[in-house]
Structure 1
Amino acid sequence: MARLEYAASDLPGPDGIIAERIRARRGGTLTPLDLMLLHSPPLAEGWNGLLGAVRTASTLTADVRELAILRIAALNGADYEWRAHEPLGLAGGLTDADLAVLRGERAPDALAPRLAAVLAYTDAMTSRVIVPDDVFAGLREHFTDREIVELTVTVGAYNLVSRFLVALQVGGGEREAA
């Protein structure tokens, strides 16, 4: 159960316009995450813009993006985030064996080198914040400067998502992506 009541989904005036923009990005529905964010419509609007860009305007492939998101969910104990993104990861090319690595059930060397580099980078950013030079060098072997910037923003943004979800205990059994 969430620590706060979810906000109303039918906000009046300018706040209602913000809710409608979020609904439009989501294909017509609001998720529990959205309803929690709508306690502060200006922050919900900024969140919608940032996460919309991370999810739809990046050049990262779906397997790379979802691997980072799922690993963050696993590291931070964000079950709602995992449930929302597991189907997206599988649809984006991750395998059940890849997901086992992300959950810590298999060794990282089971991943393709490109995905292993993403995993190491995501782990460093999430757990230690400081990225060791060798981890960054491994990432540069597989990605352009733009992709590295987009991956870095994705990891940062989804650490924000997971920390918000976990702190406020958002979500029960819903399968919606942030």
Structure 2
Amino acid sequence: MANISFAQNGLTPFQQLLGHNKDILEKWTSLEECIFSSNTFSAELKEEVRRTLAYNNGCEYCMAKGAPSKNIMGLRTQLAVHAADISTRKMHIYDDEFSALKEAFTDSEISELLALICFITACQRFGALLGLEPSCQI
């Protein structure tokens, strides 16, 4: 059970927690659509980043959707998952880690990847702070 009531606004339990503030919900959902509709990264890369962050951010709702994969084959996905992991553990990406990112991604892609990581982290921390659980039903 979530720590606050679900609002009437929103289609999912997460959205209904944001739905107490309709303007924030609309803008948040718009940003989410923008980020996830981008074709810059594969669906696999985005999902592996989300799974890694779910466990690091302690979001029960998101963890229920699956654990991080143990064998990630693609270099770009491996680097993205590593960036997600270190961003939540130490809040700093060192020069050698940035060098590795720059070998596989353009500056534009790095910017988008870090925006993806920060957005997912914000979503998951919001859910975790409000006690959003996999069993929460609207």
TM-score of the two chains, using structure 1 as the length reference: 0.69
Per-residue deviation at 1:54?
Answer: 0.9
Task: Check if 1:6 corresponds to 2:13.
Answer: no
* Bigger-Rg structure (1/2): 1
Per-residue deviation at 1:111?
Answer: 3.2
Counterparts of 1:122 and 1:139 in 2: how far apart (Å)?
A: 12
Q: What is the SS of the residue equivalent to 1:75?
A: helix
1:26-67 CA-to-partner distances (Å, cap 9, x unmatched) read xxxx00001111101111111111111111124111111111
Aligned position for 1:117: 79
Q: Within 5 A, what are the aligned runs for 1:11-160?
A: 30-84=11-65, 86=66, 99-101=68-70, 110-112=71-73, 113-160=75-122
Q: What is the SS of the residue equivalent to 2:96?
A: helix
Counterparts of 2:69 and 2:43 in 1: how far apart (Å)?
A: 18
Unaligned runs of 5+ in 2: none
Work out whether residues 54 and 154 of structure 1, in 8 Å CA contact, stay in contact via their aligned partners in 2. yes
Unaligned runs of 5+ in 1: 10-18, 20-29, 87-95, 102-109
Per-residue deviation at 1:118?
Answer: 1.3
Per-residue deviation at 1:167?
Answer: 0.2
Per-residue deviation at 1:100?
Answer: 4.1
Q: Which structure's relative contact order is higher, taking Cα pairs within 8 Å and 6+ residues apart? A: 2
Q: What is the SS of the residue equivalent to 2:113?
A: helix
Q: What is the SS of the residue equivalent to 2:104?
A: coil
Amino acid at match of 1:159: T
Counterparts of 1:100 and 1:56 in 2: how far apart (Å)?
A: 23
Work out whether residues 124 and 132 of structure 1, in 8 Å CA contact, stay in contact via their aligned partners in 2. no
Q: What is the SS of the residue equivalent to 2:64?
A: helix
Identity percentage of aligned residues: 27
Counterparts of 1:152 and 1:51 in 2: how far apart (Å)?
A: 14
Please give the root-mean-square deviation of Cα atoms over the aligned residues, in Å: 2.1
Aligned position for 1:23: none
Counterparts of 1:166 and 1:83 in 2: how far apart (Å)?
A: 13
